Amino acid sequence: MAVGIFDSGLGGLTVLDVVATRLPEVPLVYFGDNAHAPYGVRTPDDIYDLTTAATQRLFDAGCDLVILACNTASAAALRRMQESWVPPGKRVLGVFVPLIEALTERQWGDNSPPREVAVKHVALFATPATVASRAFQRELAFRAIGVDVEAQACGGVVDAIEDGDMILAEALVRSHVDALQRKMPSPDAAVLGCTHYPLMEKIFQDALGPDVKVFSQASLVADSLADYLTRRPEMIGAGRESAFLTTGDPGRVSNRATQFLRRQITFTAA
């Protein structure tokens, strides 16, 4: 009855942590492709190949449903995977849609035509590959009209977080917020379009100011997954054990993950 959660590195652990609290009865298999992280500077074809390989490994581990807890993979690979790769009886879901549904105040699964919403000016902070894909804007257009999105590619932030250098990460976040505000001085809302960024949410909020509502993903994805499994309980796979898998060095990744979540996490080689 396992569900798979994939990320190129450690950022998806922010999603796993909330999902584990929200759905304690569901075993979770986490796959971190740490040997090839970060994905944010890779080509779309490269991201697709790496993401499909990781997802297949999670299918092999007994997961029928895999969450791409990686915005870059969701942006660059998910649609292509769903259209031409995902085997019958399996599902792969991304992290954009729950975020956009919360931003536009639409119910989970609301497929009505796009309409005007309260927010008009949205700042998107994401990796260079996510920004280049324009996947966020495409998904938003399915649900809302009249929303101006200004995207800021936040180079270096993921690397700094993965390296545990939070002083550098904070400096980079403030620099990227400053660059965004030169293009869009007064956003109504800000979207943290990378699962690493919840660790810097307070810094983003402080830099943006109290009048900007900041949307982060972990709790939204957990709520969406819980709702999905209520409607589709057959998508809980056959796996019985939770696990943490990595393509990187298990000892090093375990140490970083333990620091990341502030609890003991032990990875094994994928």
Q: What is the mean pLDDT of the chain?
A: 92
How long, in residues, is the chain?
Answer: 270
Residues 6+ apart with CB under 8 A from 211: none
Which residues neighbour 111 within 8 Å (Cβ) at sequence distance 6 or greater?
A: none
Tell which residue, 192, 152, 190, 157, has the closest CA to residue 173.
157
Q: How confident is the model at residue 242 (pLDDT cuts 50, 70, 90)?
A: very high
pLDDT above 70 coverage of the chain, percent: 99
Per CATH, the number for 2-94+218-269 is: 3.40.50.1860
Q: Cβ of 259: how many Cβ atoms within 10 Å?
A: 12
Q: How far apart are CA 203 and CA 188, in angstroms?
A: 17
Confidence band (pLDDT; 50, 70, 90) for 1? low
Q: Give residue-wise pLDDT tens across range 209-228.
A: 999 999 988 888 998 899 88
pLDDT tens-place string over residues 161-211 = 888 899 999 999 999 999 999 999 999 999 999 988 988 999 999 999 999
- Asked if residue 222 lies in contact with residue 22, where contact means CB atoms within 8 angstroms, the answer is yes
The whole-number average pLDDT for the span 136-158 is 93
Which structure tokens are listed for 244? 């943490």
Active-site positions read: 70, 194
Res 219: pLDDT: 86
Say how far apart CA 94 and CA 108 lie, in whole Å.
14
CATH second-level architecture of 97-215? 3-Layer(aba) Sandwich (3.40)
pLDDT value at residue 236: 83
pTM for this one? 0.88
- CA angle at 14 for the pair 134 and 8, rounded to the nearest 5°: 55
Q: Are domains 2-94+218-269 and 97-215 of this chain identical in fold? A: yes
pLDDT 10s digits, 115-138: 999 999 999 999 998 999 999 999
DSSP 3-state assignment of 36?
helix
At residue 97, the pLDDT reads 84
Beta-sheet strand order (sheet of 189-192): 148-153, 121-126, 189-192, 213-215
Residue 251's pLDDT band, with cuts at 50, 70 and 90, is: very high
Provide the residue ranges of all domains of the chain, joining segments of one domain with +: 2-94+218-269, 97-215
Task: For residues 215 and 225, give the distance between their C-alpha atoms in angstroms, rounded to a whole number.
Answer: 17
